[in-house]
Each structure stands twice: as structure tokens, then as C-alpha cells.
Structure 1
Amino acid sequence: MTAPVSATTPGAAAAAPGFHPVIVGSDIGVYALARSFHERYGVRTTVVAFAEPGPIAHSGIIDTVLSGSDPDDIVATLERFAAQRQAAAGAQGNGQERLVLLTNMDWVVRDLVERRSRLEPAYVLPFADAPLIDRISDKAEFAAVCAELGIPTPGTVIQDFAAADAPGWEPAPVGFDFPVIAKPASSADYHGVTFPGKKKIFEIATPGELDRLMISLRDAGFRGRFLVQEMIPGDDTQMRSVTAYADTSGRVTLRCSARVLLEERTPAARGNPSAMIVERIDPILDAAQRILEHTGWRGFANFDVKLDPRDGVYKFFEQNPRIGRNNYYLTAGGQNPTEVLVDDVVHGVRREPVTAETEVLYAVVPHALLRRYVLDPDLNRRVRELMRSGRTVHPLKYSADASPRRRAYVLSALVNHVRKYRTYYPLEELRRVHATNTPTAATGEVRA
């Protein structure tokens, strides 16, 4: 299906939108944003990319500008593009347009915000300020904010590597049972670190395995903070996703939540949802809104949450300073995020808050694979009914941008998912994890 779009048709808005979207990156989330802009306003998006991989290749709604990945290269490319765009507009006698700059990568968010003075006023940067981004993107600091607000988080030990060069340095002891989860407090601090076996998230089975990881991080020169967290039982269907937008006055004007069905399992993409059902879940929507308004956030934010089957409490893991890779689930859920953004930063419109709540299945994996991987019978029936009724969406399947080469890429990507799940998450492992989904009498609260 083509996801719902707002009442203004692309053709009606395309005459003089007054802005031009520019996105740094090249993943599915970048294409999804470009699609949402095109659906709502009929505009093409300029993508500043380090390469031209499948999600954005051969697109009829994207113009790609290649750049080096060094932060100064990115900014220089953006400056050149802005100058060229302004010169072209002047030569054609067009009026002033706003360049709206976005990205879906944490480290690029930080780099752009740190260079805000170079990019403004040519660009509108709809991000929070650098100190707040650094604070809230650090998972340890985020947990502290949640503690202030009484919002539950998993049990956590913070391993600080700042003094790892000192003689006798040792990581802090871990006081809860194994297996545990280990991950960087700040993905931006971890981005440039390389060592054998590097992953986005580690599942650690034994204390010895954790010790080896700590040594690898120290020897690789990592000097940030790494978190060791209790592993909340349950498979991917216990996860929830929340995305929200806080406008320039600090009001949260857009919210969306979804029940995750399946997550990516490859080391580089671990933890990204690959299938979700848009579902209004007020306890976590309200908690996310409290966090954003308490901290004075501006722009998009994405939260990872898990329902703990041991006590029935939703527990918040982290806040990302961007709209997220799977942002098209907002448009599919009935609220196009680009409209909320443009009204705020281009037109200065103070909108009434909205929540996306159209039930729809968002999936980037084959439906046949998803039917096999959702083991809960009631949830599986719900998934099958959404499939039968056509209430499904794939962000790359856009009828207005469906050249043969793009259709071939989407097909190959779907086939490749089958191989990846067979390799990284066989059904036998899923069945073992699913067995820990046993619920308690409590149901879905956010409480201390």
C-alpha cells in the first residue's frame, strides 16, 4: 500500500514550497525522509552522501552530491551546494528559499551542530544545541535524566575508560547475573574506534567474555564510557519504538509509537527494527514527551523501550538525537513528519500536537520470513491480518519512484534479508529467546 499522506497533494504544494531539503547520509532512513518530502510537497531532496548505495541509487526523487566523510569535508560540501543553489536561484529570478538540513547519523548530528555557525544562515538546522545533544546521547546521562523523572531503565554499570592508561586500571565490577548487554554510552565516541569483533551491541555470556571485551576496548584506544546492562528477557516483540518532534518553542507537536516485531541482527545494524506495527502506546508516548520537555529538547528524537516480562514495566534504553532509520512508520501511521518540521522551521506555524495511530505493518523484510519469525500466536494472527488487508508498507517501495533498477534493488535486498537472518538469528535461537517472554500480572506501565 502507499501510506497515507496529508490533505495537501504533492502537485498542489510543488509550485512554491519555499524550502529545499538536504540530508546527509545514504541509508533507508534517508530515502524514507526524501519519500515523505516528495509525498507531501512534491519536491526532490538533495542527499549529501559518502557513496551511492542501493537505498538512494537510481532514484527519481533524489539528487546525490558526493562528499568525503571527514566533518570538514561534509561542511565544505554543504557550503558549496548552498552557494550554487543560491546562485542558480538568483539567475532564475526565484525568491529566497530555506535549505532544511537533516541527517540520520549520531556523529554527523554532533558535527553539524558543532559547526552551526558556519552553516547558518544558509541552512536551517532543526537540532538541539551541542551540550544537550552530548548529554542526552550519552546513555549514562540519559539514564540519569530518566531517574530524575522516575522513568524506569535497565540496571546499569558504567565502565569509564578515561583513566584506562593508568597503571592498575580495572573496570568496575558487575553485580547482576550474566548474560548481560554491553554497549557504548555515546555512539559518537565509539564511531572511530576499530578492533576485531567490533559490534554496535554486545551480548556477553560470561564474566571472562566481558573482561576480554574491556581489554579490547582499552587496547583500541577507546576512552569514553561503556555500559554494562542487565539483559531484560524476551524476544524482539517485547521492544517498542517511539519517535517525537519538539518544535522551536519546546512543545512536543508530533508523537508516534510502534510495537517491534523483528530487529536487525547483523553486527553493524544490530538493534534497528526491521518490522513494526504502528500502535498508540500512551504510557511510553507520555514518558518520552516528559523527557523532551524536561530537557528543553528541539527537533526529532527516537527512543528504544522494552517491556520487561518479569514485572510488566516499560523500561527506556536510550534517546537518539535524530528521527531514526525507520522514520517512515510515522508517515505510514498517518502523520508525515516533514509537514510538522516545515511548518515549524520554515513557516513558523505553531501546530496543535498530533499522534500517529493508524495501524499499519511496516517491514523491510519479506512477509514470509516475518510470518515465520513472529512466534506469539495472537501477534502472528494480527500480522497476517494486516498483510491480508493490504495495510503494509515498505519504505523503498514507492510507486512514484519505481524504475526497474530500483525494483531490482528492493527485491535483492529482501532476498538478502533471508540469508542474514539464517546466518545471524536462526529460528532455533529465536525460539530459545522467545521462551523468556513469560508475562506477569502487571501490564505495560511506566513506573519506578
Structure 2
Amino acid sequence: MPETAPAAAPAPDFDLVLVGSGLGIYAFARAFHEQYGTVATIVTKVGLEPMRRSVACDLVELGSSAGDADMVGALVDLAVSRGGVRPQLLLCNADSVVQLLSDHREALEPHYEIPILDAETLDRVSDKAEFALLCEAHGVHAPHTEIVDMRGIEDAEAAEAWQPPTFDIPFPLVMKAAKTADMASVRFAAKKKVWFVQSPEELDELLRTIARAGYRGRLVVQELIPGDDTAMCSITAYVDQQGRVTLLTSARVLLEEHTPDALGRPAAMITTELPEALEQARRMLEATGWRGFANFDVKEDPRDGVLKFFEVNPRIGRNLHYNTAAGANVSRVVVADRIEHREIEPLTRYDEILYSLVPLPLLLRYVTDPAQRRWVRTVARRGTANPWAYPAEGAWAKRYAWMVALNHVKKFLRYYPRPTSTGF
């Protein structure tokens, strides 16, 4: 029979190595420290000050000029220096680092347990165009999507002559690169993570600009689903080596970040069960042969009440702490799978909690629906989960969390000064 991990399990014999920096890595380290008392070794170019001070982190900084080879070399050297005495669990929380570990799996896998997708599956599902096709094939609700393929444009002369297609999607609409990595080295003034396009003329000019700038991938053009940030939802999952979905949780987003470099990142959420969407996520994961963590972006369409899937990320997501705070500590599933090699009862039940990086008054400024405001106030009375405010860190962590919250106030007043019906 499957075994359920106790709430405070004794520490299994393993070392945790995290690659990267930022909140998504700190929250990972915190989860393992809360559950097992593990101190994570974080290997990164340049770390954040909280990581240097944290009781949950041992920071290894390679310097801002370090390249991929330096990172891989440092990871191999670290494992070799430990002599293979204990299992080494290697995790990350950014698409680019997932790709790095996948590309260098042959060098790293002799030393580490690495619960990420195989290269073929990673390439397929990290492509937003392929994701749209997978949704259609497996009965997963998604926005109406059309694909622009620029891979056949051979040179600058061909780019000048290239004619954008026409679309059967009403305006305004949304456009983004199918694979973020394909756009990384392309430079032009109008470059964004996501474009919100108001007219056929604007779209035509933007597509020509992107082609002339040298982009040679695919673009995803989608209908704009109405609704503000509160229509967004997040689904987090983990699939073990046997293909069992052992973590499946969801939350309603209340407010997203609006700075250009962080657009769409959840800043506040309430955990809640979304049964139909969770089942569709499970179906997608099982159909694709997924392994490891996954995070889905979903939005409720107010026109029909249907939750529609935008994309799946091959990582747990920056906002992973909502799981830990709700009683579904994410460390348990990966340790059971890759260190203890045992089945556990899937973590699919969790408490209702408010996760927030911003002060409650600021949050309520953007939650305009009266019923949702009452919901937020009710849940907030039980306390707010902020990943930076880890009690084990002491008073400095509370101060740091408050400083981050105040910085968010400044950013929202600059980039999203008042709530809108679209979130833009």
C-alpha cells in the first residue's frame, strides 16, 4: 500500500543542490528546510542577500561572468568533492536552467538525481505552439490559437519580402514567442515577453519587425481572454518515475506583477480546488509522459466560465510556497520519489491560505469584486503566507519581507496604478 509521509519526517540521508537564484530558489530551499532541516547548497552566478544570510542556504557564487561550462563544471566538482557518500538531489526553478541541465544530463547524471523531463519531451512541451496542439489532441480547454512560422525565412532579403498571414481571431489579441529561448538573442525596440495587439495593421507591422530583426522561430497568436488578474489560476504538479501524479494543487490568482520584466508572475493567490482543470492537467501530464515538476497557467473565461490552459512550464514555479504553506510541502514528493524510492499517497488535499508578496491594503485595491474582497478578508484573518518571512530566519527575514512588500507598492503605482477590467 502507498505510504503517507508524516508531517515532520526525519531527514533522509541526502544532499540538496539548487541551481539559480531569486525567490523561486529560496522558496525551494525553505520547503526542504521546513520539512527535513536540510541546508541546500545553492550554486549560482550571483546570489541574493537573503540567501547569504539564510539558515536554509549554503551559497556558492561563481561570479556574473560565469558561463554554462563553468556552471556544469562547478556542479560536477561539488559532487565529486562529496565522494558519492550520499545521494545528491539536483533541482532548479527556471526554464533556462532546466534546459541547461537537460543539455548536460550526460555529464551530471552520474553524480545527481535530476527529476526533469527527457530532452525530447522538454523540447515539445516548452514550445507554446506544440502545447496548443497537445491541448487540442487531448481535450484540454485552451484559447483559440493560430501559429506563425518564421523558420523558413532564410536571410534578411527574404525577411523583407516575407508577407504576414491573416488571422481568424478577433482583436484585440495576444502574441508571444512559441519558445522563449528562440527570442532571447533577438533585439528590437518593440520586444516584449507578451504583446497585446489592438488591430490588424498593428499586428502586420509587428510581425514584419520581428522577421526583420532576425527571429526564426514560431509565434503563437491567441484570442485575448477577458478578465483581470483575478481570472488567472495556477496549477502545480509532480509526476514520479513511475508516471504517477503525486502532487496536484491549484490556486486562484488575485494579483499579478505588472513590471515589464515580471509581467504575469503571481503576487497574491488563494489556494482553492479546481476539479475539472486539475483533471485536465492530470490528463495532459499522463499523455505526454511527463516526469518531475510542472506548473500550468490557466484563466477562467467569463464568457462561458471555462478554465482555459495557456501553457505548462517544466518547473515548479516561482510561487511554489503556496503549496508548502497550505500543507502540501513540495519537498515530500520529490524526496519520496528520487531519494527514498517509495510510493506516497498523492498530495491533492490542502488548506485554504492566502499567499501574498504585497500588503493587504494594496491587494484589496485591485480586487474589485465584492464577493472576492470578502473572501480575501476572511482568509487573511487566519494569516498571510509570505515566502520571505520564514520564522526560522529570525527578525531580519520579517524586515526583508516588509521591504519587498513596500517595493511592490512603488512598482504597482508606477506600472499599474489602478485596477482595470482587463488587467492591462
Residue 130 of structure 1, aligned match among 119, 129, 143: 119
- Deviates further, 271-280 or 213-222: 213-222
> Counterpart amino acid of 2:411?
K
| 1:136/1:142 contact within 8 Å kept | yes
Aligned residue for 1:414? 405
Segments of structure 1 that go 5 or more residues without pairing to the other structure are: 1-5, 90-95, 437-448
Q: Distance in 2 between matches of 1:134 and 1:357?
A: 32
State whether structure 2 residue 364 is matched by structure 1 residue 398: no
Q: Secondary structure in 2 aligned to 1:240?
A: strand
Aligned residue for 2:229? 236
Cα offset, 1:220, TM superposition: 3.2
Q: Distance in 1 between matches of 2:45 and 2:163?
A: 38
Q: Distance in 2 between matches of 1:72 and 1:324?
A: 25
Aligned residue for 1:156? 145
- Deviates further, 368-377 or 410-419: 410-419
Q: 1:362 to 1:62 in 2, by over 3 A?
A: same
Q: 1:197 to 1:266 in 2, by over 3 A?
A: farther
Q: Distance in 2 between matches of 1:388 and 1:330?
A: 19
Q: Distance in 2 between matches of 1:432 and 1:293?
A: 36
Q: Distance in 1 between matches of 2:394 and 2:184?
A: 34
| 1:265/1:424 contact within 8 Å kept | yes
Q: Distance in 2 between matches of 1:203 and 1:423?
A: 19
Cα offset, 1:55, TM superposition: 5.2
State whether structure 2 residue 70 is matched by structure 1 residue 81: no
Cα offset, 1:326, TM superposition: 0.4
Cα offset, 1:395, TM superposition: 0.6
Cα offset, 1:115, TM superposition: 1.0
Cα offset, 1:8, TM superposition: 4.5
Aligned residue for 1:118? 107
Q: 1:203 to 1:114 in 2, by over 3 A?
A: same
- Deviates further, 106-115 or 217-226: 217-226
| 1:180/1:231 contact within 8 Å kept | yes
State whether structure 2 residue 337 is matched by structure 1 residue 347: no
| 2:150/2:215 contact within 8 Å kept | yes
Q: Secondary structure in 1 aligned to 2:210?
A: helix
> Counterpart amino acid of 2:409?
V
Segments of structure 2 that go 5 or more residues without pairing to the other structure are: none
Q: 1:359 to 1:70 in 2, by over 3 A?
A: same
Q: Distance in 2 between matches of 1:191 and 1:105?
A: 14
Aligned residue for 1:97? 86
| 1:260/1:275 contact within 8 Å kept | yes
Q: Secondary structure in 1 aligned to 2:15?
A: strand
Q: Distance in 2 between matches of 1:352 and 1:175?
A: 46
State whether structure 2 residue 40 is matched by structure 1 residue 48: no
Q: Distance in 2 between matches of 1:31 and 1:107?
A: 17
In the comparison of the two structures, how many residue pairs are matched?
A: 414
Q: 1:47 to 1:193 in 2, by over 3 A?
A: farther
> Counterpart amino acid of 1:138?
D
Cα offset, 1:199, TM superposition: 2.2
> Counterpart amino acid of 1:146?
C
- CA deviation vs aligned residue, 1:312-366 (integer Å, no higher than 9, x gap): 1111110100001101111112111111100100110012222143100011111
- CA deviation vs aligned residue, 1:262-320 (integer Å, no higher than 9, x gap): 11111111111111100011111111000001111000000011111111111111010
State whether structure 2 residue 316 is matched by structure 1 residue 323: yes
| Cα RMSD for the two superposed structures | 1.9
State whether structure 2 residue 297 is matched by structure 1 residue 300: no
- CA deviation vs aligned residue, 1:114-142 (integer Å, no higher than 9, x gap): 21110012111101101101101111111
Aligned residue for 2:253? 260
Residue 188 of structure 1, aligned match among 162, 168, 181: 181
Q: 1:160 to 1:100 in 2, by over 3 A?
A: same
Q: Secondary structure in 1 aligned to 2:317?
A: coil
Q: Distance in 2 between matches of 1:245 and 1:140?
A: 23
Q: Distance in 1 between matches of 2:221 and 2:177?
A: 9
Aligned residue for 1:93? none
| 1:137/1:186 contact within 8 Å kept | yes
Aligned residue for 1:106? 95
